[in-house]
Amino acid sequence: MELTTMNTSTAKPTFNRLRGLKMAALALGTSVLLAGCAGNPPSEQYAVTQSAVNAAVTAGATEYAAVEMKSAQDKFKQAELAMQEKKYDEARKYAEQAEWDARVAERKAQAAKAQKAVQDARQGVNELREEGMRQVQPVTQ
């Protein structure tokens, strides 16, 4: 019995053509999306940034990560000013930077609080250990 192979060379050009069309459609869609975003206020990003800044403040970032928190607040104010001046691309850029600064500040504050909790726990263990050593003194008869 003879095995025959099928020539699939005709499928490749169709695949390449479809791939090229998909890439062109993706490029066109992306450019339309970017062009459309340029004129719209970044309200969603603004809300996300405001939430991130509030979360950082709640986490204690003003105390434990003052530099990062100040940077986030300053960039958020710059985003607000850019929004008022209808410079939406600039506002989006500042809002994104402020969001990340706020997230760093929040994480830094959480880490500092966790480190303090570990130190307090170690101190408590040491105090208990010392107290236990005092109570277990040999009884002399």
**What's the pLDDT tens digit per position in 23-75?**
555 555 554 444 444 578 999 999 999 999 999 999 999 999 999 999 999 99
Domain carrying residue 78:
39-124
* Rounded distance between C-alpha atoms, residue 33 and residue 17, angstroms: 24
Structural domain includes residue 19:
no
Q: At 97, list the tokens.
A: 């930077």
Structural domain includes residue 116:
yes
> 95 near 43, Cβ under 8 Å?
no
Instruction: Name the packing angle between helices 66-84 and 43-58 (round to 10°).
Output: 150
Interacting residues of 38 by C-beta distance below 8 A, sequence separation 6+: 88, 89
97 pLDDT exceeds 70?
Answer: yes
CATH number at residue 110: 1.20.1270.390
Q: How many structural domains does the chain have?
A: 1
Q: What is the pTM of this model?
A: 0.62
pLDDT of residue 22: 61
